[in-house]
Chains A and B, each alone.
Chain A
Amino acid sequence: MFDDLFTDYTLRTVVLGSTLLGIVSGMVGAFAVLRRQSLLGDAMSHAALPGIVLAFIVTGSREPLALMIGAALACWIGALLVMSIVRTTRLKSDSALGLILATFFGAGLVLLTWVQQWPTAAQAGLDRYLFGQTATLLERDVIAMAIIGLPTLLILALFWKECAILAFDPDFASTIGLPVRLLDVLLTSLLVVAIIIGLQTVGVVLMSAMLVAPAAAARQWTDRLGVMVALSGLFGASAGVVGTLLSGAVARLPTGPMIVVCISVLAFASLLLAPRRGLVWAWLRNARPIVMHR
């Protein structure tokens, strides 16, 4: 299986794609988790579906860049609506997230079902965005992913200090005069980028796991932001590669769920076994009999 990695062209493309996804979603997700926005990614990735189908209806093609732009716009509108519902009503963020997630996704399904009745064949395969299908990943898809994904990491590096302050103490950030709203927009945009990179690989339904699980795993191993973000990217990438290879090796195994299972297992293992924070060590400490010294 691993020998194919260097000889098989399709496999190489697919693995490159899921590595890219793992790195970007892991690193961006670390900030989302620290800022208590773990579920915003879930709502936004579901909200991408109507954007994908609308982009197809408008352009009439499955050009990945066009669909990604449509998805990005829909993600952004979804995120904006969540924020303004929380700001202008007495509903809390959980209701706003559930509302946007489900209604946008419903709209996406309406459009998808409608488009699938068209007599042309161009729309075939749009439903692979639900659960992802890396087998269909082409070189042009991976190039599109790299074009929008790699600048994300550059931006994160450039605004590292600002993002770190925002993640740990937003009040302090606004006190020292950082443009908090602008940074908020920036981090949300990075989340959007991570989501649209994952559309073809993991699909809209399970994308949120790629943002939350690597970060939750990485958090258990360290107390330093830099290490956490790097580890999170590493975990995401390795889960992406292993999940893709496994789903390629077994027939009828959808890639998205396989990658999600890999990264989740990694997260649960970290929760249990990570040095110092691991739950197993805590249980062992508590279970140790107390020896009375005379």
Chain B
Amino acid sequence: MGMAAECPPDCYAPVMRPMNPLTDIVLIASATAVACALPGVFLVLRRVAMISDAITHTVLLGIVLAFFVVQDIRSPILAVAAAGTGVATVALIELLHRTGRIREDAAIGLVFPFLFSIAVMLIAQYAGNVHLDVDAVLLGELAFAPLDRYTLGNIDLGPRALWLMGGILGVSLLLLIMFYKELKLATFDAALAATLGFMPTALHYGLMSVVSLTAVGAFNAVGSVLVVALMVAPPAAAYLLTDRLSRMLALSAAFGMLAAILGCAAAFVLDTSIAGAMAVVTGLIFGMAWIFAPERGLVAQALRHARQRQEFAQAMLLVHVLHHERTPQGAVECDAAHLNEHLCWDASFTAHILRRAEQQGLLQRQNSEITLTESGRRLAEQTLRGER
């Protein structure tokens, strides 16, 4: 593709063969996904995930305005201006919020549709001479990204988008390593961070700059709304799986990359939007984590509730027997057949709890009369003393 295809055969020798465009697309998608997932972790933890929605929309205005000035869609000034718009959006939202006239969520909902609308109208007005159209804004143009390549003489250096996203990923990795401790503290205990002189506000705006820059880079590849999917869904899934920041970062990056690979594969097979497919896969990954996460997943929660219910019932049973054994009514009260009535349980539940307690060696059954074992009595007494 690109350069190499137009070369006469004799100039092929020094040319590195360009890779398959499919490989290029997957590589660009993966770099984009990982670059989005890393700052996304801090957005999710700091509870400002919807700020990413605002930023990804308003960077478009920066791109359009800068384009009118420099008239070159490939100019790096565009990216800088766009990232600046992203940070300005955050500042504007905060300014509105701080006046006390509207709440933060309303401020977000007021600012970004306004700036985005202006951008869309400008694009629509000047659609003829701008290489930006409204579909590309929402969909991205990942499928065409491998066609736009850097070349040095005859040497194909690979797609521009890969260099761009790789560069952004490199910068945010570097910043992450440099400010890891500060970010961690400011995220989990902003007050302590401020006391120790770590300047949480500066860190916040630094993070927002990285988010804006990433949004600008990813914008070309996946479009505005789907950047939000890549920034929020992988960290949200990782958050359900671990309690350590370092692991959450690694897991988010891995989920992002998985979504990129699976999303590209699905889009090739179904011949549909790559960015959309990636977003759907991030959603599915989150769905899996939500349902199956050990400890925090829906299944784990349901199992824990069931177990707690049984343990509580077993404790009630043991206390009941302890209370009545060796008393005149003991023969009646401790009769397995009467327990349903005394504890208001249905028969199968009673049978299940009795079997469970017997298996754990907490009680014995002789001719349907229940007696506690030594450990069962100890457990019942502990329950009564409130030690369990």
Query: Which residues of A are in contact with B by a Cβ distance under 8 Å?
Result: 33, 36-39, 41-42, 46, 85, 88-92, 94-99, 101-114, 117, 127, 130-131, 205-206, 208-209, 211-213, 215-216, 219-220, 250, 252-254, 256-258, 260-261, 264, 267-268, 271, 277, 279
Contacts and interface: CB of A to CB of B under 8 A. Distances in A.
A252 B239 CA distance: 45
Interface in B297-355: 298, 301
B282 A103 contact: yes
Given A89-B296, A90-B239, A98 B290 contact: no
B135 A98 contact: no
B120 A131 contact: yes
A208 B113 contact: yes
B386 to A, nearest CB: 29
Contacts of B273: 106, 109-110, 112-113
Contact of B226 (A41, A96, A105, A208): A105
Nearest to B125: A252
A26 to B, nearest CB: 14
B48 interface: yes
Contacts of B117: 206, 209, 256-258, 260-261, 264
A127 B139 CA distance: 12
Interface string B128-141: 00000011001100
B296 A106 contact: no
Given A36-B103, A109-B276, A208-B109, A130 B134 contact: yes
Interface in B93-112: 96, 99, 101-103, 105-106, 108-110
B118 interface: yes
B138 A130 contact: yes
Contacts of B231: 98
B225 A102 contact: yes
A189 to B, nearest CB: 20
B283 A101 contact: no
Contacts of A37: 105
Contacts of A46: 225
B110 A267 contact: yes
B283 A106 contact: yes
Q: How large is the interface on B (under 10, 10 to 19, 20 to 34, 35 or more residues)?
A: 35 or more
A35 to B, nearest CB: 10
A196 to B, nearest CB: 18
A33 B296 CA distance: 31
A103 B113 contact: no
B272 A39 contact: no
A206 B116 contact: yes
B283 A103 contact: yes
Interface string B211-248: 00000000000000110110111011001100000000
Interface centre among A111, A112, A257, A264 (most CB of B within 10 A): A257
A99 B283 contact: yes
Given A95-B49, A212-B109, A271-B96, A90 B296 contact: yes
B107 to A, nearest CB: 8
A261 B121 contact: yes
A42 B232 contact: no
A103 B105 contact: no
Interface string B30-66: 0000000000000010011110110000000000000
A109 B121 contact: no
B193 interface: no
A58 B266 CA distance: 22
A86 to B, nearest CB: 12
A215 B102 CA distance: 10
Nearest to B111: A264
Contacts of A258: 117, 121
B226 A101 contact: no
A42 B240 CA distance: 25
A106 B139 contact: no
A278 B299 CA distance: 51
16 contacts: A38-B103, A89-B296, A98-B50, A98-B52, A99-B232, A102-B283, A104-B283, A106-B279, A109-B276, A113-B276, A130-B138, A213-B109, A213-B113, A254-B120, A258-B117, A264-B113
